[in-house]
């Protein structure tokens, strides 16, 4: 295969010529979209939502404290802070600031963006804090003392890593597992760690001991430690592709393979091994279906026993979403036609028992945000709907459930209704989608979709969409197209690789169904998506332009001929295919948006957005697409935020500005 791409120079992320082009495009877009009073109002209203003092400060339990990361107007890069449960219950909790990221950034002259922290269990006295420059996936790692509330400097024996796409985790207070850029050959072709090492405090990284190596073409390899008292285990793994993982128990005598299907999810909790199947699995004379959840006693399983307890079996309408352990129980979350359901499963001497999770409200969707499996049966559950603001609950299995916090209403939902409909795709498959709006409305409609990587789109409250779209008379639609996980692994696997066009047929079917139901017209229907959803909207533009009045395409994949050569792209070949294989390129080229731009087509006005600091999906995708569309004289505009990583924004100000641009564009085109 040869490259005959006249816009390859736009892949030079920080090249002077490419950045000059970016600045020119940004200036054009800002001149077009930021001059109106409506843009200012949209931006400011979104910023109010993002910075609101009365929004829920979602916590994570770490020992006796509830930790929260908080951003607002006064702290745009955020505060990592903590409080007690007793204080959190009050209207105004007393927060102790653990780390002020804004103050740190100012003191060090860096554009730090919080990427999270791995806290040492048990004891919760130390953390491995990850900070990125401008919001990229690559981050520095610095050890933090949660008693003195200060960094542990490298000269004092602290664990410190330079910027890289690292994978780190605690073994004990003096040892960590680390996968990072150790030098030539230490990363996979996808740019993730290939080698896992055990690093002891007070020794240089160069003396860390290798415990496991993956292969160069793997997606990643790594190691982690389970510190549960009495059940301490060390696991190493390699992921040959995005959906397959080989796992090994690390023992003093060597590695022991955990013999489960490579495409299954497997995890251990105390004496139990849980296995979630992605494809049919025959064990002896029993065949377990795709999407099932199975349990076995860990030690007995490794010794050869195949006594499996079936904890969940999917059906036509119901799929396994996820599960969470408490100390003594397993919380199983399922989706029934994209609506949340929960059960409590409890192992006992005579087997597993099950019961509904008591007290869960009937709303659009709910999620178990956190549990405390080391200590008790507490869980934190968040519930909301498209028009119902979120409520955060704290419950105890076999105990009560209490409301901890309620989110304010950020927009007037009076008169708004939510309905679920089903469209019929080209092959006869029924595709569910939600419509939020006023009954009888025949006006501006925004259709959102993703359709990939087994990611489910469930109902949830968004003050941003509410203020910027719904409260102004727009209708909002979320399509649960294939490629997601709404109906289990099969819903996703049915559209992999050469079957990918079914995803696009699904979204086109939803667009037509909206028109057939009188909800909108093509001229007043816009479509929006990001990342894999940016590929989705790119295909809508080039293959189904007559269905839409506007297209918003964010942090997108668009050049499917070169995606595997750009940043993390190689890790997604199990989803899309290998462009270097002529057989794969034969089906990829049929829909790759960048290769399918044609002159004199009825392309609707289009807006592409990305980030210079996106080191997951290369900004060259969006840049080159804009250049090619402009070459043919199409109505296209572009905005590239310098910071923000794959999320597109590093703080609330940047996010509000980006949303202001998007909403102003949408109202101009379909409003």
b/e sequence 249-278, b meaning 16+ C-beta within 10 Å? bbeeeeeeebebbbbbbbebbbebbbbbbb
Whether 646 is catalytic is: yes
652-670 vs 37-51: helix crossing angle, rounded to 10: 140
What is the pTM (predicted TM-score) of this model? 0.95
Q: What distance in Å separates the CA atoms of residue 392 and residue 562, rounded to the nearest whole number?
A: 44
Edge-to-edge, what's the strand order for the sheet holding 378-384? Answer: 365-371, 378-384, 391-396, 401-406
Percentages helix, strand, coil for the chain, rounded to the nearest 5?
Answer: 25, 35, 40
Residues 6+ apart with CB under 8 A from 562: 3, 5, 11, 569, 579
Q: What is the pLDDT of residue 459?
A: 96
Q: What is the pLDDT of residue 342?
A: 96
Q: What distance in Å separates the CA atoms of residue 184 and residue 193, rounded to the nearest whole number?
A: 11
Considering 531, 571, 592, 611, which one is annotated as catalytic? 531
Q: What distance in Å separates the CA atoms of residue 228 and residue 269, rounded to the nearest whole number?
A: 8
Asked if residue 37 lies in contact with residue 44, where contact means CB atoms within 8 angstroms, the answer is: no
Preceding amide of 122 cis, omega within 30: yes
- The stretches in the chain having pLDDT less than 50 are 1-2
**Of 534, 538, 617, 566, whose CA–CA distance to 5 is shortest?**
566
Q: What is the pLDDT of residue 2?
A: 44
Q: What is the pLDDT of residue 1?
A: 37
Asked if residue 134 lies in contact with residue 610, where contact means CB atoms within 8 angstroms, the answer is: no
> At 402, is the secondary structure helix, strand, or coil?
strand
Q: What distance in Å separates the CA atoms of residue 263 and residue 490, rounded to the nearest whole number?
A: 13
Q: What is the pLDDT of residue 3?
A: 59
Q: Assign domain 32-48+410-670 to its CATH architecture.
A: 3-Layer(aba) Sandwich (3.40)
The backbone region for 522, taken as left when phi is positive above 0, alpha when psi lies in -120 to 50, beta otherwise, is alpha
Q: What distance in Å separates the CA atoms of residue 432 and residue 430, rounded to the nearest whole number?
A: 7
Full 3-state SS string of 527-566: EEEECHHHHHHHHHHHHCHHHCCEEEEECCCCCCCCHHHC
Whether 611 is catalytic is: no
Q: What distance in Å separates the CA atoms of residue 16 and residue 388, rounded to the nearest whole number?
A: 47
Residues 6+ apart with CB under 8 A from 595: 559, 560, 561, 589
For the chain, give the number of residues. 671
445-448/525-530 β-pairing: parallel
Cα→Cα distances 648→256, 534, 580, 654, Å = 42, 13, 30, 8
Q: What distance in Å separates the CA atoms of residue 610 and residue 619, rounded to the nearest whole number?
A: 6
Q: What distance in Å separates the CA atoms of residue 286 and residue 137, rounded to the nearest whole number?
A: 43
């Amino acid at each position: 295969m040869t490259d005959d791409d006249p816009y390859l120079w736009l892949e030079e992320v920080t090249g002077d010529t490419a950045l000059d082009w970016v600045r020119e495009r940004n200036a054009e877009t800002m001149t077009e979209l930021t001059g109106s009073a409506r843009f200012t109002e949209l931006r400011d209203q979104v910023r109010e939502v993002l910075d609101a003092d009365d929004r829920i400060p979602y916590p994570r339990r770490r020992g006796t404290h509830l930790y929260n990361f908080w951003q607002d107007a006064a702290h745009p890069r955020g505060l990592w802070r903590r409080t007690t449960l007793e204080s959190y219950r009050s209207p105004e909790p007393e927060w102790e600031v653990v780390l002020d990221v804004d103050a740190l950034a100012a003191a060090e002259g860096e554009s730090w963006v919080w990427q999270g922290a791995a806290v040492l269990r048990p004891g919760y006295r130390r953390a491995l804090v990850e900070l990125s420059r401008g919001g990229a996936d690559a981050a520095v790692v610095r050890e933090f003392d949660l008693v003195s509330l200060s960094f542990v400097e490298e000269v004092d024996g602290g664990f410190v890593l330079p910027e890289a796409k690292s994978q780190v985790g605690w073994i004990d207070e003096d040892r960590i597992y680390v996968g990072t850029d150790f030098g030539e050959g230490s990363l996979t072709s996808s740019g993730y760690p290939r080698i896992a090492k055990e690093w002891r405090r007070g020794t240089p990284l160069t003396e860390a001991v290798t415990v496991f190596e993956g292969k160069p073409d793997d997606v990643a390899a790594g190691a982690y430690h389970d510190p549960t008292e009495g059940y301490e285990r060390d696991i190493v793994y390699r992921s040959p592709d995005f959906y397959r993982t080989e796992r090994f128990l690390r023992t003093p005598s060597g590695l022991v393979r955990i013999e489960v299907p490579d495409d299954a999810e497997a995890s251990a909790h105390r004496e139990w091994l849980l296995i979630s199947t992605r494809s049919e699995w025959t064990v002896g004379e029993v065949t377990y279906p795709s999407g099932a959840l199975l349990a076995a006693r860990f030690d007995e399983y490794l010794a050869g026993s195949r006594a499996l307890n079936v904890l969940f079996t999917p059906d036509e309408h119901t799929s396994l979403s996820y599960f969470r352990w408490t100390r003594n129980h397993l919380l199983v979350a399922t989706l029934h036609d994209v609506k949340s359901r929960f059960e409590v499963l409890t192992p006992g001497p005579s087997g597993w028992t099950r019961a509904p999770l008591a007290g869960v409200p009937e709303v659009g969707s709910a999620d178990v945000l956190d549990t405390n499996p080391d200590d008790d049966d507490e869980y934190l559950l968040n519930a909301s709907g498209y028009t119902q603001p979120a409520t955060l609950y704290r419950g105890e299995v076999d105990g009560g459930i209490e409301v901890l916090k309620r989110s304010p209403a950020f927009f007037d939902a009076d008169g708004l209704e939510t309905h679920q409909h089903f469209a019929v795709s080209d092959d006869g498959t029924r595709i569910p989608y939600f419509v939020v709006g006023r009954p009888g409305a025949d006006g501006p409609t925004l259709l959102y979709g993703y359709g990939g990587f087994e990611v489910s789109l469930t109902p949830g409250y968004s003050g941003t969409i509410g203020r910027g779209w719904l409260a102004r008379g727009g209708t909002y639609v979320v399509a649960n197209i294939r490629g997601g996980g709404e109906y289990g692994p099969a819903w996703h696997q049915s559209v992999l690789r050469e079957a990918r066009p079914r995803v696009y047929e699904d979204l086109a079917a939803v667009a037509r169904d909206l028109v057939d139901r009188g909800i909108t017209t093509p001229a007043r229907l816009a479509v929006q998506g990001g990342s894999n959803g940016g590929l989705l909207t790119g295909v809508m533009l080039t293959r189904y332009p007559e269905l839409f009045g506007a297209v918003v395409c964010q942090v997108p994949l668009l050049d499917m001929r070169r995606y595997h050569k750009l940043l993390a792209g190689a890790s997604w070949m199990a989803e899309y295919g290998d462009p270097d294989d002529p057989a794969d390129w034969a089906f990829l080229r049929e829909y790759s948006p960048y290769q399918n731009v044609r002159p004199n087509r009825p392309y609707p006005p289009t807006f592409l957005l990305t980030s210079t600091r996106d080191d997951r999906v290369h900004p060259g995708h969006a840049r080159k697409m804009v250049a090619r569309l402009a070459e043919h004289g199409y109505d296209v505009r572009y905005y590239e935020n310098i910071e923000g990583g794959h999320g597109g924004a590093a703080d609330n100000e940047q996010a509000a500005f980006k949303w202001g641009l998007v909403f102003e564009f949408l109202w101009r085109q379909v409003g």
